[in-house]
Amino acid sequence: MPVNILAQAFAEGLSSIPFGWTVVKVVPVLALLYLLKWYFNGAVNGSERNMHSKVIMVTGGTAGIGAEVVKALASRGAQIILLVQQPLTDPFFVDYIEDLRTECGNELITAEHVDLTSLHSIRLFATKWVDNAPPRRLDMIVLCANTMTPPGGKATITEDGLESTWGLNYIANFHLLSILSPALRAQPPDRDVRIIFGTCSAYMGGRLPKFDTKSKKGGKVESDQTEPAPTSVYATSKLALMTFAVAFQKHLSTYARPDKKPMNARVIMVDPGWTRTPGMRRFLTFGSLWGLALYLFMWPFWWLVLKSGDQGAQTFLYAVMEAQWGRGDGNYLLKECRRINWARKEIEDETLQQKLWESSSKTIELLEKESAKRRALEKKDKEKAEAKSPAKEAKGGAKQRKAT
């Protein structure tokens, strides 16, 4: 049939074929759109690995790229531990976990309540995990949690007084891994342990501020750094996270194991590319209704140039499954399922790494002290209120009996 049509087109011209000229005009456009979509989708993970019995801790695993990573790993038999902010008794979250178990055919999907915007919540979980004998199995930590204040939006503050983007993207990861490092170092030498950081090409625009902190009168923590714009905070948080990732690999590698075996934990940084995640949508819409309307109007364009969540997860899966990243000295930066070099030399600066580590530890120490004082005062006030309540009830009962 196609041969006859082509023969007629050559013999009698395209005009003799119904819609001949229309097809000739439309097909190149469709072919171009297909090639553009194929290009913007990025690379696809071609590595496979048996994930049965692997214990993987995931942050940000309920939405966007993190959710797709969790589905892919759970479908391959991995035991997933989600660190989530919402209460574990939330009926909607319970339904989500049950649906995820059914979809993946895996009952080994559990969750732990960890509010990454609260240093106290992170410490409660991490210390409980570490204070376990014998050490609990932990093959991987995948850090997908991420936030960003949209352009023109007002920066929000965590309960510890940190700017939310800086607090979640960097400080939370620093605090979590600092406490969990003994659990990582205690894993058997034949186990392939990987710590996977989610980053972004925005780190190239970041500029690390001065991190020296001190406590002033009144117990408040102050810093000599100026308050940057929300968008620059995001870029700086990613730059700081990558600098910490390199320092954390050195921290792990310099540990002398009691069995004299080489360290088997490796740090991998992943740039998934531009993806249609809820965070990206919030950024593109400026966090406003008119921005959302514009986003919906331009949806075909965003569909073309932005990856889906599944496509954005491909480099994460490549970092988890590719065998070569389980060897060597670690500190790998992956993008589009291949290794690349980072563009900022500050990431390799050992002096800067040390200053960043020390100032971050000091900041967390000061903030946790303030948080402990605040919780103690709140507990004391609550106890006073509870003590007054029975006294009032007893007094009211006595008055009523007297009146009777």
All structural domains of the chain, each given as residue ranges with its CATH number in brackets, are 55-272+307-340+353-364 (3.40.50.720)
Catalytic-labelled residue, pool 54, 238, 307, 335: 238
User: Taking CA 15 as the corner, what is the angle to CA 9 and CA 18, rounded to the nearest 5 degrees?
Assistant: 90
- Burial letters for 184-209: b for 16+ Cβ neighbours within 10 Å, e otherwise? bbbbeeeebbbbbbbbbebbeebebb
Lowest mean pLDDT segment, chosen from 191-200, 213-222, 299-308, 326-335: 213-222
Lowest mean pLDDT segment, chosen from 97-101, 216-220, 284-288: 216-220
HEC letters along 43-89: CCCCCCCCCCCCEEEEECCCCHHHHHHHHHHHHCCCEEEEEECCCCC
Q: Return the number of other C-beta atoms located less than 10 Å from residue 183's C-beta.
A: 20
pLDDT bracket for residue 241 (50, 70, 90): very high
Confidence check: pLDDT of 243 > 50: yes
What's the pLDDT at 83? 95
Pick the residue with more confidence: 393 or 72? 72
Residue 238 is a catalytic residue: yes
Enter the DSSP assignment of 169.
I
* Kind plus residue range of the DSSP H or E element containing 376: helix 350-403
Q: What share of the chain is helix, strand, coil (3-state, %, to 5)?
A: 55, 10, 35
Contacts of 352 (CB under 8 A, 6+ apart): 208, 243, 346
pLDDT bracket for residue 247 (50, 70, 90): very high
Q: Return the number of other C-beta atoms located less than 10 Å from residue 256's C-beta.
A: 8
pLDDT digits (tens, 9 = 90+) for 253-281: 999 888 888 889 999 999 999 999 888 88
Pick the residue with more confidence: 133 or 341? 341
pLDDT digits (tens, 9 = 90+) for 18-53: 666 576 677 788 888 889 998 999 899 999 998 998
What is the rounded average pLDDT of the residues 12-16? 64
Residues forming beta bridges with residue 334, ordered by sequence position: 270, 339
What percent of the chain clears pLDDT 70, i.e. is strictly above it?
85
What's the pLDDT at 143? 95
Q: What is the pTM of this model?
A: 0.85
Pick the residue with more confidence: 15 or 131? 131
pLDDT bracket for residue 150 (50, 70, 90): confident
pLDDT bracket for residue 375 (50, 70, 90): confident
